[in-house]
Amino acid sequence: MSTGDDRLVQSVDPDHPANLIPSLCAKFWTLGWVTGTGGGASIRDDEHVYIAPSGVQKELMKPSDLYVLSLPQTLARHGESGDSDGPIRPSSRVYLRSPARFKPSQCTPLFLSAFTRRGARCCIHTHSAHAVLVTLILEQQGASEFRINNIEQIKGFARGYPHAEVGNLGYHDTLRIPVIENTAHEEDLTEFLEEAMERYPDAYAVLVRRHGVYVWGNSVEQAKGQCESLDYLFQIAVEMKKLGIPWESDIKPTLPRKSIKGQ
């Protein structure tokens, strides 16, 4: 039997977080992002945080499988914990609703970082093979940053947290995604994720070496769109590597004819 208020995950609205997380995860499963119960997704709806549990078959998840956490109560308890500048500890989390079986996802503190440090509304974590391969290629090069420019899909990314008002990246801009090293326990990634967020205030995503990627957004649509665009770029990057084509290039803007004529 579940604990807490089941009505929090009962809605006839397909866009309610409790319905959206299962439909998103089923879609992600077909894309190979959440294979073998890996990966996950979380949506914040002002005060409530909806999270897929650990170990669930993502393509078969039901609304009743979800956890619901109170963000204000969790933050209050976190503030009282005497460790309020670090990641939110499990003991600070206040669950308003827990499913009968399953355990909380180990991704929980990482999702909470996206919500509290970036004001995100949705955070997606994938184990996409493309993401993992990109971190392996970078490892060969001793690099901890994925950089790519001059690919149209780069426009699919917002310019980042403090600059949200200035729109998306441009075609000639360089997309930079930090790579953090994987830890034995997923929760231990949290402080490294938060550190990367500080070093890359523009980033909407963090790669985890030999593990996958965390992507967030100011809305579910933005998080999903950025996650799709990023996976597409990772896929192309792996193929570019096989074909001997560098990820960064020095391409001069093509001016429209009128600009050339000075019109």
We find the least distance from the C-beta atom of residue 113 to a second copy, in angstroms, to be: 14
Q: Tell me the C-alpha distance between 237 and 154, whole Å.
A: 12
We find the least distance from the C-beta atom of residue 96 to a second copy, in angstroms, to be: 27
**Whose CA is closest to 105, among 193, 190, 15?**
190
204 CB-near residues (< 8 Å, 6+ apart): 157, 158, 160, 161, 215, 216, 217, 226
Q: Give the contact letters, 98-137, x = binds to a second copy (CB under 8 A), - = no.
A: -----------------------------x-x--xx--xx
- Other Cβ atoms less than 10 A from the Cβ of 154: the count is 20
Q: Out of 4, 16, 38, 70, point to the residue binding a second copy (CB under 8 A).
A: 38
**Residue with smaller CB distance to a second copy, 7 or 260:** 260
DSSP 201: T
Q: Give the contact letters, 204-223, x = binds to a second copy (CB under 8 A), - = no.
A: ----x-xxx--------x--
**Residue with smaller CB distance to a second copy, 7 or 152:** 152
Distance of CA 122 to the CA centre of its chain: 8
Tokens of 153: 């899909």
209 CB-near residues (< 8 Å, 6+ apart): 135, 138, 139, 179, 180, 181, 182
Beta bridge partner(s), residue 51: 42, 67
* Active-site option among 59, 152, 186, 239: 152
Q: Give the contact letters, 59-98, x = binds to a second copy (CB under 8 A), - = no.
A: ---------------------------x------------
194 is catalytic: no
**Residue with smaller CB distance to a second copy, 71 or 157:** 157
- Other Cβ atoms less than 10 A from the Cβ of 66: the count is 26
We find the least distance from the C-beta atom of residue 87 to a second copy, in angstroms, to be: 9
Q: Tell me the C-alpha distance between 99 and 55, whole Å.
A: 13
**Residue with smaller CB distance to a second copy, 88 or 132:** 132
Q: Is 188 in the site for a second copy (CB under 8 A)?
A: yes
Q: Out of 146, 161, 192, 214, point to the residue binding a second copy (CB under 8 A).
A: 192
Q: Tell me the C-alpha distance between 204 and 227, whole Å.
A: 9
Footprint of a second copy (CB under 8 A) = 32, 35-38, 55, 57, 86, 127, 129, 132-133, 136-137, 139-140, 150-153, 156, 170-172, 181-185, 188, 191-192, 208, 210-212, 221, 224-229, 231-232, 235-236, 238-245, 251, 253-258
Which residues participate in catalysis according to the annotation?
152
